[in-house]
Amino acid sequence: MPSYVLDKAYRVAATGGVNACLAVVKGSSDGECDLPSGANAGAVLGATVHSAEKDQSVAVRKLGIASLAAASAISAGDEVCVADSQGRIKAAARAAADTGVVGNNNAVTWTAKKAGSCGNNILVDIVVAGNSTPLSVAVSGNKVTINSATDSGGNATTTASQAIAAVASNANASRIVSGANKGASNGSGAVADETATLSGGELGDHAFGIAEESASAAGDVIDVFLKI
């Protein structure tokens, strides 16, 4: 299968020049590239193919697969965005929220499937109501409702692990959120009636690529499929 790339030359505006494998953004003048001002910067042009001094031309990969330096651990498949003013990258943040209590073994972290602020204000509503009711999952807009199974006394019998699995197996809910046991919680505890609102997704805005491989630490250089 053929792989296509597009490189374009830009004049380096950064005072100290640029190194290879860094994300650069649009400079103040046409035809210029510069290092980002900080994390989550927008107007990303692409990744530098080689190093260049200030006012020299540098080739910037704008289409296809580019090599980029990581600022922290990144998993293959993560969306990535600018991590810092050096032009390194990080995994783009996804909105998240917790339900339950670790000590009760029912603590779950619910995470938006898409990076960015589009995941903010997703609601995960765990409902414990009625007697001898079955476990079910329903989706309405940005709200995922988990109706816990109950016993004849109206007590929740759905465990946290079962709630996670129920969301994962629901075609609509699984497109919105995923769940995972939090910390030392093993998922064996019954869920409680509560609602969580996801937040923090704004730290993942301006994602510009998808990691093709994993980075284990800062400084690792990985391949990223650009989607600028």
Q: Are both 73 and 48 inside the same structural domain?
A: yes
Q: Considering the domain boundaries, does residue 179 fall inside one?
A: yes
Same domain for 160 and 194?
yes
pLDDT, tens digit, 9 for 90 and up, residues 104-126:
999 999 999 999 999 999 999 99
pLDDT per residue as tens digits for the range 38-64? 999 999 999 999 999 999 999 999 999
Per the prediction, the chain carries an average pLDDT of: 96
What is the four-CA torsion angle of 124, 199, 209, 140, rounded to 10 degrees?
A: 30
Angle (CA) 172 174 180, round 5°: 150
**DSSP conformational letter for 165:** H
What pLDDT is stored for residue 183 in this prediction?
A: 97
pLDDT of residue 1: 58
In a domain, 1, yes or no: no
If you search the block for the tokens 């990691």, which residue do you land on? 211
Domain that holds residue 53: 6-92+205-226
pLDDT in tens, 119-157: 999 999 999 999 999 999 999 999 999 999 999 999 999
- What is the percent of the chain where pLDDT is above 70? 99
* Shared domain check, 114 and 67: no
pTM of the predicted structure, to 2 decimals: 0.81
Write down the pLDDT at residue 204.
85
